[in-house]
Structure 1
Amino acid sequence: MAQSGMAGSAPPKRNLSWNDPTVRAVVYQVLALGLVALGIWYLVSNTLHNLETRKIASGFDFLSREAGFAIGESPIYFGPENTYARAILVGILNTLRVAVVGIILATLLGTVMGIARLSKNWLVAKVASVYVEVVRNVPLLLQLFFWYALITELAPGPRQALNPITGVFISNRGIKVPAPTDHFAFDLAGIGFLLAIVVCIFVARWARKRQEATGQAFPLIRANIALLVGLPIIGWLIGGAPMELDVPKLAGFNFSGGATLTPEYAALLLGLIIYTGGFIAEVVRSGIQAVYYGQWEAASALGLKRSLVLRLVVLPQALRVIIPPMTSQYLNITKNSSLAIAIGYPDIVSIANTTLNQTGQAIEGILIIMGVYLSVSLSISMFMNWYNKHIALVER
């Protein structure tokens, strides 16, 4: 009876003592949080006091005011009469133009070079190794200066522009090419291209499940090419199949009409692709080498070619090693695009700097830049984490 009574009694209360490590840990954490909160309060109050002393108005009301400056390169219309908010939007779009295209092309270049480093062909492997070692050990800013100088100094002026194809002009002002006119048919073609991308994703999933169930391979590459080419053509035909294009023409000391690939955009994109491609190549190489060599031998024993072994057996397993460091490279190429200001490309940093110089809203301008890069980086991380979880092995 005494034992059962003791068993049913409540556990003894814990006395608070400084000798208890749990108590000390809680006290230290509370003190640390208090110091952080005190530091934040001091910085905020000191900043507000200084702004008030210097009669500088805080807030984002300036975004609705007229900008009064022009932007040399904009994917949407922008004039001096537009607001600072629209100028910031142009900077965001220009940054995304570089980041998205750069991520896609750097991935392709890095993957090819990473595989080439493992090639059994001595020359191919050495060329890939030299490329990786050179671009990874030369600062990106110097590479941007090099490509910008190469494009602007070697190319002729507009009046002596190269004209390799009718309607295409290459000069130190950029590459001018014919562009679609403002016609509904070209809008339908663009919608058809986006629809083709979505259909390609579903076709790839269906082909994978079909092969797992039947063992029969589906000609996925040819089907995707047919979709990416066919659906835009169908949209263009439905819209009336207009044949007229906006062809660039020499007018004075420059060209008018058509679409332009500016030297600033080309140099920035080329530098980011080549520089980041070297790091991605090493990520791909290490990911492939992380796959047990017995996988190569087993697949080869089944009679598969080396290219098929790499594409169907090794790379799917290597992706689980490649994706985490690849995410870091995608974030790097996005953040490194801020070096665009060095060669005059109007990205978010350049336009925000012009804005804060005119308005004096330095804190708000810096906050806008930080918010843009934080949002883009978090979006990339969320997508890559989702994809990494999607391809992870599911244990039973």
Structure 2
Amino acid sequence: MLKIWRNRTLRGTLIQGLVLLGTVALFASFVLTARENLVSQGIATGFGFLERSTGWPINFSLIEVSDRSPYSRMLLAGFLNTIYVGLLGLAAATLTGLVVGMMRISSNLVLNILGTIFVETFRNVPLILQVIFWYALLTHLPPPRGAIDLAGVGFLSNRGLMLPAPALSAMDLAILALGLLGVLFSARRMGGTRSGLTWVLGLGALAALFTVLLLTGRAPDMPLVSIPELRGLRFVGGLTVKPEFAALLIAIMMFGGAYVAEIVRGGFLSVDRGRLEAAKALGLSSWQIMRFVHIPLAIRAMLPALTNQYIWLMKATTLGVAIGYPDYFMVVSTSINQSGQTIELLLLLMGGFLAINYVIGGIMNTINARLAIKGRS
């Protein structure tokens, strides 16, 4: 026994095992104590409530739900709403941050000043205030009967933005999105001159799939494109972008874009000037230096900070509860008030955000590992 204890590897393994065992025992005691207390107070435990009807509706969902939907389906709707607004917000914040970041490093004084004003304005105002500001602005637009006409194909009112939409279901859109991801992955794997052919064939296949879904995935009397029309005090048909969704998306885009802009600026400024001068000495043009030297090295410097920022922005979608956007956090909060299953629903809430953010972190870490310069830690 003394020889085993003197072995550093075995001693470390034994200590780690004891710590892990103690942690599991402590967690199990907490769970059993909480369960005993709940039972003594007559509070039901378990996840059987997920099959009960909720009795309350939500105003936006990617899947069909009603006030008779069970808790499980309502939670799924909230989870999908969070992913939907979160991914769109990350994409919009990235594009905004890229443009503003390039303005910040531009030699043009006007663009530099405009980029600085954007960053200093939206970075220093709390996100929840921006969410409430945009929501108040959107809900103070004209009512439906006085809606702003957008060239006869769309309308803007305090009920939201009404736009034409193809007659496709959420499942059809999901199939097209998966197809686009497949094209992106295939083009990345092919590389070189073959990637161009992959893009042409892939986009052609997506166009054919879109046509087939548009023609077969609708009722015979349904038009190919649904146009919004004013009937009474509301609009029917088309696609409606709710003010709650738009306000949260704009706030994430502006707030996140300000931070991403600084990450982009820092990434470009971190590139060693000697490498840029070496590329210029080799006879590369300014565009070639930017494409083959400056951008790749800057992206490597940006990725760790971008990963942290993306995860933070995804968690910031919970601020939608302040304006009534039915995201995962709001649906869980309402479910707790209605069902009383606090512990179970909090576990589901934490598990949902852990899954989302672990996926984002895993994807970004994989990209970071692929782009890392070989031979350097």
Q: TM-score range by the shorter chain?
A: 0.7 to 0.9
CA RMSD of aligned residues (A): 3.4
Q: Which amino acid counterpart does residue 199 of structure 1 have in structure 2?
A: V
* SS of aligned partner of 2:361: helix
CA distance in structure 2 between the partners assigned to 1:25 and 1:386 by the alignment:
30
> Is 2:160 aligned against 1:174?
yes
- Most deviating of 192-201 and 40-49: 192-201
Identify the residue that residue 394 of structure 1 maps to in structure 2: 374
Q: How many residues align?
A: 368
Map of 1:51-66 to 2, 5 A cutoff? Answer: 51-66=38-53
Give, in angstroms, the shift of residue 305 of structure 1.
4.5
Map of 1:137-286 to 2, 5 A cutoff? Answer: 137-153=124-140, 155-181=141-167, 187=172, 191=175, 194-206=178-190, 208-210=191-193, 230-237=204-211, 244-286=224-266
Which of residues 116, 119, 125 in structure 1 aligns to 2:106? 119
Are the counterparts in 2 of residues 191 and 232 from structure 1 also a CA contact under 8 Å? no
Q: Which amino acid counterpart does residue 361 of structure 1 have in structure 2?
A: Q
Task: Give the alignment's TM-score, normalised by structure 1.
Answer: 0.82
Identify the residue that residue 78 of structure 1 maps to in structure 2: 65
- Most deviating of 34-43 and 107-116: 34-43
Are the counterparts in 1 of residues 5 and 11 from structure 2 also a CA contact under 8 Å? no
CA deviation string 1:319-372 (max 9, x = no partner): 221111111011011101011101110000111111111111011111111010
CA distance in structure 2 between the partners assigned to 1:16 and 1:231 by the alignment:
65
> Is 2:309 aligned against 1:329?
yes
Change (3 A) 1:57 1:200: closer
Q: Structure 2 unaligned runs (5+)?
A: 217-221
Which of residues 71, 96, 121 in structure 2 aligns to 1:109? 96
Give, in angstroms, the shift of residue 48 of structure 1.
1.7
Q: Structure 1 unaligned runs (5+)?
A: 1-12, 212-217
Are the counterparts in 1 of residues 86 and 317 from structure 2 also a CA contact under 8 Å? yes
Change (3 A) 1:127 1:304: farther
Task: Report the structure number with the largest CA radius of gyration.
Answer: 1
Are the counterparts in 2 of residues 193 and 231 from structure 1 also a CA contact under 8 Å? no
- Most deviating of 252-261 and 52-61: 252-261
CA deviation string 1:203-246 (max 9, x = no partner): 3554x5459xxxxxx9x6x995x678654443355565996322
CA distance in structure 2 between the partners assigned to 1:201 and 1:81 by the alignment:
40
Are the counterparts in 2 of residues 340 and 347 from structure 1 also a CA contact under 8 Å? yes
Identify the residue that residue 219 of structure 2 maps to in structure 1: none
- Most deviating of 47-56 and 306-315: 306-315
CA distance in structure 1 between the partners assigned to 2:32 and 2:181 by the alignment:
51
Are the counterparts in 2 of residues 145 and 343 from structure 1 also a CA contact under 8 Å? yes
CA distance in structure 1 between the partners assigned to 2:272 and 2:9 by the alignment:
45
Give, in angstroms, the shift of residue 139 of structure 1.
0.9
Change (3 A) 1:210 1:230: closer
Are the counterparts in 2 of residues 331 and 377 from structure 1 also a CA contact under 8 Å? yes
Map of 1:1-20 to 2, 5 A cutoff? Answer: none
CA deviation string 1:44-75 (max 9, x = no partner): 23322321121001011000111111110011
* SS of aligned partner of 2:162: strand
Give, in angstroms, the shift of residue 112 of structure 1.
1.8
Q: Report sequence identity in percent.
A: 36
Q: Which amino acid counterpart does residue 290 of structure 1 have in structure 2?
A: S
